[in-house]
Chain A
Amino acid sequence: MTNFFQYVVSGLSTGSIYALVALGLALVYRSTRILHFAHGDITTAGTFFAFTLLGLNLHFWPAFILAMVFGALIAMTFYFCVLVPAQRREATQLGQIILTVGLGLILQGLISYFGGTEPQSFPFPLSDTKIYRLGNVVISELSIGTFGIGLLTCLFLYLLVQKTRLGLAMRATSENLPAAQTMGIPTRGILALSWGLAAALGVLAGLFLAPTLLLDPFFMLEPFLKGFAAAILGGLNSLPGAIIGGLILGVSESLAGGFISIAFKNTFAFLIIILVLLVRPEGLLGEEFIERV
């Protein structure tokens, strides 16, 4: 039983990382109906930027905030300089998804060129080895921090989307783009903001993930795929779904790794998603697609 709780606790901590990544993907999908395949690479770019700043003896918090702004800038530049021209030329849905794959490849190459492919350890204010005990369950300072930041971000996003005028504009834009335009909402700015916000959330996840993994240009690939799976599990157009999907995925993966086999931990995660999708194709909290011919 102790083991069980231990796995659940560590699963919740990784799950909140997945939830952050999934939130970013869901934000982008909700607003522009695009699957954001460059999300992981933007995250990596932001984390590397933070690493460089820390190397210049900058303090942690300004470096982290600058890194998030950096990630947001990449995403917004991509939106304005690539996606908008492509949409003007009437690129298809598949075409726009492939554009993000292209951005991912570019960033990946540039990161390997400037950042080097050698794995580096990432300095962090919270320690991985300092542990607290709750009964028989052991929690490290870093996992508490990760879980806390996950909760805080979800709260912040909830307040932003549900309680502010900006959030109202975002919801209106994702609900019905032409109608929002008619109402005088600057939809292009709102969409760019969604992309930037998503990238900032991703970079935050990357920053909290980098201390446990070593930092190399591909360190985000697996968490990104997991975040993707989590977003789909929860339903791509639902923000609460992304959070719940992330936590479910983290916990179930940790349990599967603990009780069944550690080698097939990743495979189990994907198997769960495939099974859920076969039963409920729109995800746990997503809305049904209705298609007319």
Chain B
Amino acid sequence: MDLIESYKEELQLIRKPWTRVWVGAFVLALLLLPWYAPEHITYVFSIIFIYTVGVQGQNLLIGYTGQISFGQAGFLAIGAFTFGHLSRLGIPWPIGLLGAGLAAGLFGLVVGFPSLRLKGPYLAIVTLGFGVAVYQVFVNSEVLSGGRMGMIIQKLSPHFGLSRITYNYYFNFLIALLFTLVSYNIISSYMGRAFIAIRDNDIAAEVIGVNLTFYKLLSFAVSSFYTGVQGGLYGLFLGYLEPNMFTFMEAITLFVAVIIGGLASVEGSIMGAAFVILVPQVFSSFKEMVPVVYGVTILIVLIFEPYGLYGRWFKMRLYFRNWPFR
């Protein structure tokens, strides 16, 4: 949302020198976190990193391309169980994660086809149906879901003399960082601009030469790739999978994260992921109240701050940058 004067500037990840300083400080603080924070916090942050990947994917679809999807839990399940089966076959984790992403991306392509004809509410119901269908298939098929007791996956064995929690933390941190950089690259390239054009008005976008079929399908594929990788990471982190982890509520959680964090912003996705993980932690003694907190936050955010937590943060920065002018 800054004023951009040249293409080179557009491609830059960070434009202001002071932003570089605090982003650097933030990344450094995250890098050193396992050394000063208690183990519990490190554990929670690892889950936030895992969710960051999926929420960014969901944001690419909802925030940038403007297509509603309530079927994200289905992609999550497909990614997680693909990863599980691959790792049971003894395939190393990098290929497993890639496989998880590709399998989910392939299904994303299939679900994307209705999006070429359907809009808004109709698309929402189709994706929702997909999510329900995937859940049912995994519940009813023991071959796919690894039996009644769930699927046990071998966890990562720590290297470099780090403890398991610290090692997992760095592993997920690096992957989340990688996907964040990829998201920034997507949105500052032709692909991202095509997505945004489709969101703003798909017919107008087609008129000015955006290949609607290709980019809508691509958006679904990329988004579900992210979600599939999140599923794989989740399986690897917990070492255990069962179909009940991927109900409709899980899709709603990802959706809530995007809305609260801020539509169409990568930073917002990270904040949203942190929000949906931290709230249940804070309210762990009143578990029933977690949806209430989500709901109230959604109402407040949408009425008073449609751009979410990121929008608030952006306005605060603008206020201090221009101080004392308003």
**Contact across chains for B292 and A98 when beta carbons are under 8 A apart:** no
**Contact across chains for B132 and A225 when beta carbons are under 8 A apart:** yes
Task: For chain A, give the interface size range.
Answer: 35 or more
* 8 more CB-based (< 8 A) A-B contacts, given A264-B136, A273-B125: A106-B295, A109-B289, A264-B137, A266-B132, A270-B132, A274-B130, A277-B117, A281-B122
Least Cβ–Cβ distance between B120 and chain A, in angstroms: 7
Mark interface residues in A58-98 (1 if CB within 8 Å of B CB, else 0). Answer: 00000000000000000000000010011001011111011
Give the CA-CA distance A236 to B114 in the complex, in Å: 17
CB-based nearest A residue for B258: A98
- Could you list some 30 contacts between A and B, CB below 8 A? A29-B121, A35-B120, A82-B299, A85-B303, A86-B303, A89-B306, A92-B306, A93-B120, A95-B306, A98-B302, A105-B292, A105-B294, A106-B299, A110-B292, A112-B288, A113-B286, A225-B248, A229-B129, A232-B125, A266-B132, A266-B136, A267-B133, A270-B130, A274-B114, A274-B129, A277-B114, A277-B122, A277-B125, A291-B203, A293-B204
**Contact across chains for A82 and B303 when beta carbons are under 8 A apart:** yes
B140 at the interface (CB under 8 A from A): yes
Q: Which residues of A contact B121 (CB under 8 A)?
A: 29, 35, 97, 232, 236
Partner of B290, one of A95, A107, A109, A270: A109
Question: What is the interface of chain A mostly: helix, strand, loop, or mixed?
Answer: helix
**Contact across chains for A267 and B303 when beta carbons are under 8 A apart:** no
Give the CA-CA distance A291 to B295 in the complex, in Å: 32
**Contact across chains for B298 and A99 when beta carbons are under 8 A apart:** yes
B14 at the interface (CB under 8 A from A): no
Residues on A lying within 8 angstroms of B by beta carbon are 29, 35, 82, 85-86, 89, 91-95, 97-99, 101-110, 112-113, 117, 221, 225, 228-229, 232, 236, 263-264, 266-267, 270-271, 273-274, 277-278, 281, 289, 291, 293
Give the CA-CA distance A64 to B119 in the complex, in Å: 38
**Contact across chains for A104 and B295 when beta carbons are under 8 A apart:** yes
B147 at the interface (CB under 8 A from A): no
B51 at the interface (CB under 8 A from A): no
CB-based nearest A residue for B131: A270
Assuming the contacts A293-B201, A293-B204, asked whether A91 and B299 have C-beta atoms less than 8 A apart, the reply is no
CB-based nearest A residue for B128: A225
Mark interface residues in B192-225 (1 if CB within 8 Å of A CB, else 0). Answer: 0000000001011001000000000000000000
CB-based nearest A residue for B113: A278
Give the CA-CA distance A293 to B208 in the complex, in Å: 12
CB-based nearest A residue for B294: A105
B31 at the interface (CB under 8 A from A): no
Q: Which residues of A contact B259 (CB under 8 A)?
A: 98
Of residues B68, B126, B130, B299, which shows the largest number of chain A Cβ atoms within 10 Å of its Cβ? B299
**Contact across chains for A95 and B288 when beta carbons are under 8 A apart:** no
**Contact across chains for B295 and A103 when beta carbons are under 8 A apart:** yes
Q: Which residues of A contact B114 (CB under 8 A)?
A: 274, 277-278
Q: Which residues of A contact B248 (CB under 8 A)?
A: 221, 225
**Contact across chains for B128 and A102 when beta carbons are under 8 A apart:** no
Give the CA-CA distance A86 to B298 in the complex, in Å: 12
CB-based nearest A residue for B141: A263
**Contact across chains for B128 and A101 when beta carbons are under 8 A apart:** no
**Contact across chains for B140 and A263 when beta carbons are under 8 A apart:** yes
Give the CA-CA distance A273 to B114 in the complex, in Å: 12
